[in-house]
Amino acid sequence: QLHELYRAGADPVLVLQDFLALLHTLARVIAAPKSDLDLSDTQANMARAMAGKMQMPEIMRAWQILLKGIAEVAHAPQPQAAAEMVILRLVYAAQLPPPGE
Mean pLDDT of 19-24: 95
Q: Mean of the per-residue pLDDT values for the chain?
A: 91
For the chain, what percentages of helix, strand and coil (3-state, to nearest 5) are there? Answer: 70, 0, 30
Q: Residue 1 has what pLDDT?
A: 76
Exposure pattern of 11-31 as b/e (b: 16+ CB <10 Å)? ebbebbeebbebbebbbbbee
Domain layout of the chain by residue ranges: 2-94
Predicted TM-score of the model (pTM):
0.85
Q: Is 2-94 a CATH 3.90.1150.10 domain? A: no
Is the pLDDT reported for residue 15 higher than 90? yes
State the Cα–Cα distance between residues 81 and 68, nearest whole angstrom: 15
